Amino acid sequence: MKNSTFKIKAYRAQFIEELTPIYDVGEAESFFYLILEEKHQLKRIDMALHPDLVFSEAELVVWNSILEQLKQEIPIQYLLGKTSFYGLDFEVNDTVLIPRPETEELVEWILESQKSKGESQKIRVLDIGTGSGCIAISLAKNLPFAQVFAIDVSEKALATAQKNAQNNAVNVTFINQNILEVVSLSVVEGLDQQFDIIVSNPPYVRNLEKEEIKKNVLDNEPHLALFVEDTDALIFYKKIAELAQKNLRPNGKLYFEINQYLGKEMVDLLERMNFKNIELRKDIYGNDRMISCHCEE
């Protein structure tokens, strides 16, 4: 990109033009305004009111660097180091998945189930495979009476989650643990009590579905948090459901985000394990995306 003009308005047009072979115009434009607000605290209205605003040469270097990375389909959230989830700001990096709107729906579902409870009813919540901490932290923020715990196999992910908890002024107990190696949650230090809610958004994308995954996700987001073997796609769900049988309170609830193609298989799994009141829900895109059930009383 030529450095001959530093006018923001002119740069915006060139920025969008260079990205439109890869992204649609609306997405490219949204990238521009996200960066403008993050780097310069300027909004679209500021450009309208002040059409002669300019970038310094140093600022242009930063913008050109971001532009080149966007051309390589590195997610904008990683480039800015942050994203929004359920009305809260979260730091993100390549050690954690970028939170999705579908997961916000899962959080909303859990919160809906708790609306009838007063603050005197203390509950214990466990988020398994927490990543950036988006589920655990959103629940802790909106359920001030809850005691929230979160597990992840990645120490780097937990470091990000801990920072996000601090930034959002909530108390979450984070534990580094490979859930597949746990016989019972009771033997994990800090988890030797029963839970009212266990929630998980575990890895669920099968290798056979990789061709459906966008390049920016496949090349940049952590595969550890995304993929499972085709031959054992429900490995995490089976394990977590087994742990829930032992560590959910009577009538406690288990919530999962799931692979959209495996809704029936998930219902069958939970039925075989004698969970009750199994409910499969679709996401905003009409895909089977989340499921809940009760532990037997």
pLDDT tens-place values along the chain, 297 residues long: 444 458 999 999 999 999 999 999 999 999 999 999 999 999 999 989 998 999 999 999 999 999 999 999 999 999 999 999 999 999 999 999 999 999 999 999 999 998 877 665 689 999 999 999 999 999 999 998 899 999 999 999 999 999 999 999 999 999 999 999 999 898 888 888 899 999 999 998 888 888 888 888 888 878 878 888 888 999 999 999 999 999 999 889 999 999 999 999 999 999 999 999 999 999 999 999 999 999 876
Structural domain contains residue 2: no
Same domain flag for 63 and 193 = no
With respect to residue 136, please indicate whether it lies within any of the assigned structural domains: yes
Distance CA 187, CA 291 (A): 27
Are the beta carbons of 172 and 126 closer than 8 angstroms? no
- Specify if 79 maps to a domain: no
Statement to judge: residues 47 and 102 lie in one domain: no
Give SS3 for 256: strand
Whether residues 53 and 178 share a domain: the answer is: no
Q: How many domains does the chain have?
A: 2
Tell me the pTM.
Answer: 0.91
Tell me the C-alpha distance between 171 and 16, whole Å. 41
Is 64 contained in some domain?
yes
Domain-ending residue, one of 72, 102, 128:
72
Q: Residue 121 belongs to what domain range?
A: 94-294
CATH of the domain at 237: 3.40.50.150
In a domain, 14, yes or no: yes
Same domain for 131 and 223, yes or no, is: yes
For residue 2 the two structure tokens come to: 């030529």
Do residue 119 and residue 62 come from a single domain?
A: no
Structure-block tokens of residue 31: 């990238």
CB 20 within 8 A of CB 12: no
Q: Which two tokens stand for residue 139?
A: 């629940």
Q: Which residues in 118-157 are b (16+ Cβ under 10 Å) and which e? A: eeeeebbbbbbbbbbbbbbbbbbbbbeebbbbbbbbbeeb
HSE, side-chain direction, 13 A CA sphere, residue 6: 10
> Torsion angle, CA of 139/140/141/143, rounded to 10 degrees?
80
